[in-house]
């Protein structure tokens, strides 16, 4: 999910996998569950990436993503990419611990294929 096509705002490209995951996970764990999992992820990585804002998990997903985008936009591009990868990896590991590896894999595959279909539709315009 990290391999997004070039062009456009780099910070916004980093959010594409997060938005896709939110669409697929929110019906299962709710927006508050997604926010709680994201918040835990941020707290686990706060020391390694001190410039990332650890947001309260009670925020809306739009607010969480806006904060993440702002944090990633302020970072050096290589650091932003590493932090986003660490966030996604930690988030999916925590999700897997919560709901199991098989379901996590199916959800991520579904989110990935959905994101790819949206990218392909945008490229065909």
112, pLDDT greater than 90: no
* CA pair distance 65, 75, nearest whole angstrom: 15
* CA pair distance 69, 95, nearest whole angstrom: 22
The two structure tokens encoding residue 24: 């697929």
> End-to-end CA distance of the chain, in Å?
22
Which pTM does this prediction carry? 0.81
Digit-coded pLDDT (tens) for 6-65:
456 777 888 989 998 999 889 888 999 999 999 999 999 999 999 999 878 788 999 999
Report the pLDDT value the prediction gives residue 1, as an integer from 0 to 100. Answer: 46
């Amino acid at each position: 999910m990290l391999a997004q096509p070039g062009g456009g705002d780099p910070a916004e490209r980093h959010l594409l996998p997060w938005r896709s995951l939110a669409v697929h996970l929110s019906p299962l764990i709710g927006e508050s569950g997604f926010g709680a999992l994201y918040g835990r992820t941020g707290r686990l990585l706060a020391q390694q990436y001190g410039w990332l804002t650890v947001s309260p998990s009670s925020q809306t997903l739009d607010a969480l993503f806006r904060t993440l985008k702002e944090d990633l936009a302020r970072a050096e591009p290589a650091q932003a990419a590493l932090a986003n990868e660490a966030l996604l990896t930690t988030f999916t590991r925590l999700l897997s611990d919560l709901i199991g590896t098989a379901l996590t894999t199916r959800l991520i595959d579904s989110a990935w294929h959905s994101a790819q279909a949206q990218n392909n539709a945008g490229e065909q315009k």
